[in-house]
Chain A
Amino acid sequence: AQSVTQLGSHVSVSEGALVLLRCNYSSSVPPYLFWYVQYPNQGLQLLLKYTSAATLVKGINGFEAEFKKSETSFHLTKPSAHMSDAAEYFCAVSESTGFQKLVFGTGTRLLVSP
């Protein structure tokens, strides 16, 4: 079985500060890992994904994440937060074969203050 743990239901940063959202996963098979963002009253938009190529993955809007197998982590970072980054962020894991349902974490709400 697979699972995802996101530490911190809320993270607050100032505009221009580093964003770090934490994600740890558990998987008995090689995983694929994803970060999705959900803006208010909208669906889930893919930020980036790890599918066993490069361990440092770059996504949209300046976000990136690094797959660390030894730490079973896939933390999301952005060097400088913008007000528009305020949203809910979900980490998800899937198997690399089969129908690859996504297993989501509980989400982290990012708050950005001026």
Chain B
Amino acid sequence: EPEVTQTPSHQVTQMGQEVILRCVPISNHLYFYWYRQILGQKVEFLVSFYNNEISEKSEIFDDQFSVERPDGSNFTLKIRSTKLEDSAMYFCASRESTGTDTQYFGPGTRLTVL
């Protein structure tokens, strides 16, 4: 069964460093999402992406964050200058279409900022 994959599974970085989290959505999916889950808290929406542009973003998704689909398969989330409070599990999700289609989630990348 097709699945969403994410790399790395765990990333440790120093405060102020740039990180890139990578996701490979399911191949025929057109809509892409990033969510995050700070330890012990709920899963929060960050951004949705369709047709090579951001379709919606939350207030969390400030200028330090960016997304792109560089090669038609990968979908990346970049954090330019990480802060301690960026430590969280980051989930990528994709769906084939809107309407009743399901969002399929990847296993997540745990980001630890020291």
Contact = CB atoms under 8 A, between A and B. Distances in A.
Interface of A: 32, 36, 42-46, 49, 51, 90, 92, 97-107
A43 B98 contact: no
B29 to A, nearest CB: 13
B42 A101 contact: no
Given A42-B107, A44-B105, A99 B48 contact: yes
Given A100-B98, A101-B58, 9 more contacts: A43-B91, A44-B43, A44-B93, A46-B103, A92-B43, A98-B56, A101-B45, A102-B45, A105-B42
Contacts of A45: 105
Contact of B56 (A49, A92, A99): A99
Interface string B96-109: 00111011111110
Contact of A103 (B45, B48, B103): B45
A90 B42 contact: yes
Most buried by B among A32, A49, A99, A104: A99
Q: Which 3 A-B pairs have the closest CB atoms?
A: A43-B107, A44-B105, A51-B100
A106 B106 CA distance: 19
Given A49-B102, A106-B41, A106-B42, A99 B91 contact: no
A17 to B, nearest CB: 26
B65 interface: no
Given A44-B91, A99-B55, A107 B105 contact: no
Nearest to A90: B43
Interface in B64-114: 91, 93, 98-100, 102-108
